[in-house]
């Protein structure tokens, strides 16, 4: 059904880069935040994409041999989030057409649907993109006490709220940390979404299949 193995009853979607065209917004905000460190697209994919904001700050700076205290890490993360919010206000949020079509098809097919995102802005992004009505459960940056990706905790929590075992859930992710989380959680299918030309890396980190757009699965 919808390009998924038999027995799948729920879809767990990452947000930025999978459903909405906001991954590029986050990348721009990170690049501005770390302009003094020569932040690159590879740094985005390796150290911050898909992770909770403060984990991304910590991991990127560690790659440069910098180890600030927790208060500074928090402050840097807040500055980055303010940049994201400003960019969203200035430019709006657009959903991928293929992702909207896939959500509509999943709803018609009776598949349960959750968004799993490290972002604190997930609800606002879903509303702005006109996707909220398709989403039954949201696990995001406001859900404290859960380890962030690449740990599987947030996906496992979404599966629990949808009352489905992980083996009956499909994970949809564009981030390397996200596909690692899907594989670590023992989910029935991990779909890598390649928007930036890192198909091989998504497969190496745990994706079962990689598509450039969810419409390919319809």
Residue range 39-93, pLDDT digits in tens: 998 999 889 987 888 999 999 999 999 999 999 999 999 999 899 888 888 888 8
**With contact defined as beta carbons under 8 Å apart, do 135 and 12 qualify?**
no
Rounded to whole angstroms, the maximal C-alpha distance in the chain is 50
pTM attached to this predicted model? 0.83
Active-site residue numbers? 14, 16
Q: In residues, how long is the chain? A: 218
Same fold, 10-21+94-217 and 23-91: no
Backbone torsion region of residue 130, taken as left when φ is above 0, otherwise alpha when ψ lies between -120 and 50, otherwise beta: left
In the chain, domain spans: 10-21+94-217, 23-91
CATH numeric code, 23-91: 1.10.150
Q: Are 177 and 158 in contact (CB under 8 A)?
A: no
pLDDT tens column, 164-186: 999 999 999 999 999 999 999 99
**What's the CATH fold of domain 10-21+94-217?**
Rossmann fold (3.40.50)
Distance between CA atoms of residues 35 and 62, nearest Å: 16
| Contact yes or no for 116/12 (Cβ under 8 A) | yes
């Amino acid at each position: 059904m919808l390009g998924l193995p038999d027995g799948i009853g729920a879809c767990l979607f990452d947000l930025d880069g999978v459903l909405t065209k906001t991954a590029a917004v986050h990348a721009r905000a990170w690049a501005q935040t770390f302009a003094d460190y020569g932040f690159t697209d590879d740094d985005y994919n390796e150290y911050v994409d898909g992770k909770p904001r403060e984990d991304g700050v910590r991991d990127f700076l560690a790659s440069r041999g910098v180890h600030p205290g927790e208060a500074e890490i928090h402050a840097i993360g807040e500055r980055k989030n303010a940049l994201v919010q400003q960019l969203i206000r200035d430019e709006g949020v657009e959903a991928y057409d293929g992702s909207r079509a896939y959500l509509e098809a999943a709803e018609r097919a009776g598949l349960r649907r959750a968004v799993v995102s490290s972002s604190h802005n997930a609800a606002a992004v879903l509303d702005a993109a006109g996707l909220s009505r398709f989403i039954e459960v949201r696990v995001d940056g406001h859900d404290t006490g859960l380890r962030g990706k690449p740990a599987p905790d947030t996906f496992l929590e979404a599966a629990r709220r949808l009352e489905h075992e992980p083996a009956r859930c499909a994970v949809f992710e564009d981030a390397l940390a996200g596909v690692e989380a899907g594989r670590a959680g023992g989910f029935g299918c991990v779909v890598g979404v390649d928007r930036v030309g890192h198909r091989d890396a998504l497969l190496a980190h745990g994706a079962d299949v990689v598509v450039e757009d969810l419409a390919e699965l319809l």
